């Protein structure tokens, strides 16, 4: 492996910085896997908006399907696939909501249209026509015309606190390199996995 750091968060930061330089689009795009209370899996792409030693953060409408499943089970898994680097990164563990101050701070960095879209969208619910959504968006433009757009009460973020992390690098002839970290009471236990 190109980086032998024994801190998985430091290693992720290195890989993520490299991906930011080489991936043409959305180097922060990650697959987010959730399950319903009855075990039905679901996966979709979301954008990583923060990471540190506490975990990995993304934002969403709290009334969406993914938020419902995250709140219901309290667990998730994420996957980054950086094709240009021939690398993958996986993490799994418990999730929890970010605090209001953190959500407010991130929401303030979004473009105005993205902020208005958060108010206009009933994410994941049936939509009778695109015109209905566009009319709702126009109504939000009028409502907040000339003023700041506050964070909607139904919009916030989640943080995954990883219990297991895997770094995967492509190898010739499918002889890949897989490095795994598992959280223990005393820190991280590191090991390797067969390709």
87-145 pLDDT tens trace? 999 999 999 999 999 999 999 999 999 999 999 999 989 999 999 999 999 999 999 99
64-88: per-residue pLDDT in tens? 999 999 999 999 999 999 999 999 9
In the annotation, is 174 catalytic?
A: yes
CB contact set of 156 (below 8 Å; sequence gap of 6+): 59, 60, 62, 97, 98, 100, 103
Residue 17 pLDDT exceeds 90: yes
The residues with which 18 forms a beta bridge, in sequence order, are none
Per-residue pLDDT, 2 = 41
Q: What angle do CA 9, 45, 18 make, to 5 degrees?
A: 40
Cα separation, 195 vs 177, whole angstroms: 6
Per-residue pLDDT, 5 = 61
With beta carbons less than 8 A apart as the criterion, state whether 59 and 155 touch.
yes
- DSSP 3-state of 69: helix
Helix axes 112-120, 130-143, angle to 10 degrees: 120
Mean pLDDT for the stretch of residues 40-59: 97
Instruction: Please give the model's pTM, rounded to 2 decimal places.
Output: 0.93
Per-residue pLDDT, 92 = 98
| Catalytic choice (174, 178, 179, 183) | 174
Domains of the chain are 8-107+153-193 (2.30.110.10)
């Amino acid at each position: 492996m190109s980086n032998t750091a024994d801190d998985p968060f430091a290693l992720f930061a290195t890989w993520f910085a490299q991906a930011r330089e080489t991936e043409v689009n959305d180097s922060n795009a990650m697959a987010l896997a959730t399950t319903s209370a009855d075990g039905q899996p679901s996966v979709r792409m979301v954008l990583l908006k923060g990471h540190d030693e506490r975990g990995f953060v993304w934002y969403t409408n709290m009334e969406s399907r993914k938020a419902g499943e995250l709140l219901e089970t309290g667990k998730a898994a994420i996957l980054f696939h950086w094709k240009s680097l021939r690398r993958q990164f996986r993490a799994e563990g418990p999730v929890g909501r970010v605090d209001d101050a953190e959500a407010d701070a991130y929401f303030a960095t979004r473009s105005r249209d993205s902020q208005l879209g958060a108010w206009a969208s009933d994410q994941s619910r049936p939509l009778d026509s695109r015109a209905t959504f566009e009319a709702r968006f126009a109504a939000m433009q009028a409502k907040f015309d000339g003023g700041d757009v506050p964070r909607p009460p139904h919009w916030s973020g989640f943080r995954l606190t990883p219990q297991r992390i895997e770094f995967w690098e492509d190898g010739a002839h499918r002889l890949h390199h897989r490095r795994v970290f598992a959280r223990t009471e005393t820190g991280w236990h590191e090991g390797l996995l067969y390709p």
